[in-house]
Amino acid sequence: MTSQATALIRGRESFLLDATNVELAVTRIGGMLGPVTFFPNSDTPICPYAIAPWAEENLPEDISPMISGLRGDWLCSAFGENSEPHRGTRLPAHGETANLLWESIASGASTEGCWMRLGIDLPAQGGRCEATTSLLNKHSIVYQRHDFTGLTGPINPGHHATLACPDVEGAGRLSFSRFVGAWTPLEPTERPENRGYSWLKPNVRISDLHRVPCIDGTTTDLCRYPARRGYEDIAIVCADPTLSLAWSAVTFPESGFVWFALRNPRLLASTVIWFSNGGRHFAPWNGRHVNVLGMEDVTAFFHVGLAASCRSNQLNQSGIPTVLNPDTGGKLSIPYIQGVARIPPGFDSVVTIDQQQNSDNVVLTAESGATATVACQLDFLRTGSLRADRQ
């Protein structure tokens, strides 16, 4: 086993990992996965993740590390704004995992693929987190497992995938596994007096994702994006906890691929959807963060923070967990799968993702009936390990 070297990638010192079908970087500050290139040696590589337009700018010191390096996906140890202290401690937005320095622990490679393990102490929240990122040759998948130890109380963790969408209205088609509820936040995501603008009507239980109320009395389709230019909005979709597999997906038919994420809904109960389309007019956003879609799989109370997630709230009153509790030893592990698949003509919104019988493949089926098959060791979500690795 060896430690991982770093390189400066889009303004951030980053750890690098590559296999046949995936090349990726993970930032040392914040552990952010991005950029990621799928099928890097093909004529049409796929780079689905967003990188903030200010990534290589010199920003004021009062801009948090999480915002200044904003990109791709990352694990939040305390998902949300965290403007309210928890147990007398004010945590940074999205927690220490998203803002502090990660250290290389070990890495390895074989004919099957490669992996690296990074670690970070959580002095304010308590405990430690270690992140293992693995790639398998011929898989267009990123396998990650985050292991917490020494936790002394509940956490509201979340993955925070942010996708770069084409500058074409409705280019991406969002879909989800079966869910038991969906809501807009209690308060507007942004307010004009703070130089921010939102369009969705707050505090609405959503009955139809295709017809969601707006502040002017009209409705909008949350399953097509980009949309609502000039606004910043959030909604949450809460998975059916009886499912053995929960998923979220965004299909880009004109670009010929679908991005998807797979999870255990008893570990990551909900998906926070962040529609970031130029609605923030304060630094460093300045109206230029557009066509970005957050598909954020979490166990949390919207984007508010750990304190609100620990209290009785709108979601947990409806039976939807908003925190996870570690075991008696303070341990908690969260495996997660995300990746892409090329799609055939006519493939529109994903309606099912299932394991192909007797194989290490999953099959994505579209509403049109078209299918896409991708190599994926789905039992990673149950075991936390890959049969090819030696971790």
Greatest C-alpha distance within the chain: 59
User: Which residues contact residue 346 at a Cβ distance below 8 angstroms, ignoring those fewer than 6 apart?
Assistant: 366, 368, 370
Nearest alpha carbon to residue 161 among 236, 239, 261: 261
pLDDT digits (tens, 9 = 90+) for 288-311: 999 999 999 999 999 999 999 999
pTM: 0.96
Distance from C-alpha of 367 to C-alpha of 364, rounded to nearest angstrom: 10
Counting other chains too, the contacts that 348-352 makes at CB distance below 8 Å and 24 or more residues apart are 348/173, 348/251, 348/253, 349/173, 349/174, 349/175, 349/223, 349/249, 349/251, 350/175, 350/247, 350/249, 350/251, 350/258, 350/260, 351/175
Tokens of 113: 């693929």
Banded model confidence at residue 4, pLDDT cuts 50, 70, 90: confident
DSSP 310: H
CA distance 169 to 314: 32
Taking all residues of the chain, what is their mean pLDDT, rounded to a whole number? 96
Number of Cβ atoms within 10 Å of the Cβ of 337: 21
Please tell me whether residue 159 adopts helix, strand or coil conformation: strand
- Domains (range + CATH), the chain: 6-383 (2.70.98.10)
d(CA 142, CA 338): 5
User: Could you give the C-alpha distances from 384 to 175, 247, 329, in angstroms and in order?
Assistant: 25, 17, 18
- The reported pLDDT for the residue numbered 390 is 38
Q: What is the pLDDT of residues 344-385, one digit of tens each?
A: 999 999 999 999 988 899 999 999 999 999 999 999 999 999
Vertex 367: Cα angle to 363 and 372 (nearest 5): 25
Rounded CA separation 233/274 (Å): 6
